[in-house]
Amino acid sequence: MSTLEELRAPAAYLFLVYASCFLLYIVVPGRRVSGYVRNARGKPLLYRLNGLRVFLLTICVTGCACYLSNTSFTLASSHRMSCCVWACLLGLVVSSLFYLKGPFEEHMSAHSVPASRDVGDFKNFRKAARIFFNGWELNPCLGLIDFKMFFYLAGATMLEINVLSGLVYHYSTFQEISWPLIVYCCEMTWFLVDYVYHEHVQLYTYDLFAENVGFKLAWGCLCFYPYFYSIGLPVLYQAKQGDVPYLYYVLIISIVVFIVGYVLSRGANNQKYKFKIDQKVKKYGFIEQRSIGGKLLVSGFWGVSRHVNYLGEILMAVGLALPGGWIGGSLLPWLYPVYYVLLLVRRERDDNVRCQQKYKYLWDKYTSQVPWRIVPYCY
Ligand code: NDP
């Protein structure tokens, strides 16, 4: 490839994925679901959820478009760094547009930053930077487009395409697929499909009810999510099976740790979701739904620690890091679980303050009954 091609092809590839995802997100029908977030009039926001369909269709469209245009599907892996740079630029441009546009006033929610369209009004740079980073509002929408839901979906789809592309790249380079790569790809695919399948549960999470759409979310989903979350992938697709003297038991540990993490995370999130939509339900599977004041769950996953779902997420990240980090012998894959620890420890602290203010004495009662923040008997 010429230098120009080297730059142009990854940009076109990225454009193809994100543009297809965006168009499909608009045209593919989805079920209408009431969310947890309320609008300024106190009514639950109505979401159109088509995540899984769009996720799968975008992957098919990308594969077909690559085939028809004689472009290699493996470009996402062979030119990973260029794709990442373009994604970074795209994230920056989109965030800047969001900042300059200001709030989508007619859809302002109760959580939005007070509107001021004139960015020149700002008294100080720090305030502007804060709004640029965090965003103006919680749930910017334009007709059928809910930007927050779209960004999460686009990031997950691009990440899955990176994973599949890595698999194809590895096979076309070595005419075989190594076991560590298979384990990694299965775990990451499970993580992503599960995420889009449970889109309705995500409506009840912190990201949806507490975080605005700005640079952090737009750049985070378009660039950081597909490229940092797959940081362990290149180590695996660039290595030939025989090059790494890998150990089967490490793969087994990876799978076990991942599954335990998944059960804790999905179990806690689903238990809370069931409780939020109907507090009168007495059981979640075989777990009795006990609560404090009918508001805070104290049984099952929520009785083990106050955020056992965070522990689950960290364990899944460890499971994903093991194939590349241990077997591949690289330190890079470990950045992924380290990032989760830093993110979730900080988030638990923020959430604790939020819940303390919201639930007051009920929260004190809960913390005395469930003293562990994330890891039972440890932290
Ligand atoms: P939680 O699902 O723990 O949500 C916290 C909220 O749940 C609280 O603000 C409170 O909200 C409510 N709550 C807290 N304790 C209780 C209780 N005992 N009973 C009932 N409700 C309670 O956290 P997140 O939304 O941050 O995380 C959701 C999932 O997403 C987790 O599995 C997390 O690991 C994952 N995650 C994934 C990330 C990724 O990048 N892959 C990033 C961050 C999170 P309320 O005011 O509504 O009661």
Residue nearest to atom 27 of ligand 1 (CA): 205
342 or 100, which is more confident: 342
| 66-120 tens-digit pLDDT | 888 888 899 999 999 999 999 999 999 999 998 888 777 544 454 554 445 455 5
- Residue 128's pLDDT is 84
Q: Which string of b and e fits 27-58 if b means at least 16 CB within 10 Å? A: eeebeeeebbbebeeeeebebbbbbbebbebb
Average of per-residue pLDDT across 322-335: 84
Q: Which ligand 1 atom sits closest to the C-alpha of 344?
A: 43
Q: What residue segments make up the domains of the chain, in order of their start?
A: 1-96+143-242, 243-379
State the distance from the centre of ligand 1 to the C-alpha of 264, rounded, in angstroms.
Answer: 13
Per-position DSSP letters for 130-179, written without gaps between them: HHHHH-S-S--EETTEEHHHHHHHHHHHHHHHHHHHHHHHHHHHHSS--H
Atom index in ligand 1 nearest the CA of residue 351 equals 9
Give the pocket of ligand 1 (CB within 6 Å).
205-206, 265, 269, 272, 275, 296-297, 302, 307, 309-310, 313, 347, 351, 354-355, 358, 366
Whole-angstrom CA distances from 367 to 292, 357, 371 are: 11, 13, 5
Weakest-pLDDT range from 56-65, 125-134, 162-171, 267-276: 125-134
Q: What is the whole-number distance in angstroms between the Cα of residue 91 and the centre of ligand 1? A: 26
In this predicted structure, which of 93-107, 137-151, 161-175 has the lowest mean pLDDT?
Answer: 93-107
Mean pLDDT in residue range 251-263: 96
Does residue 226 register a pLDDT over 60?
yes
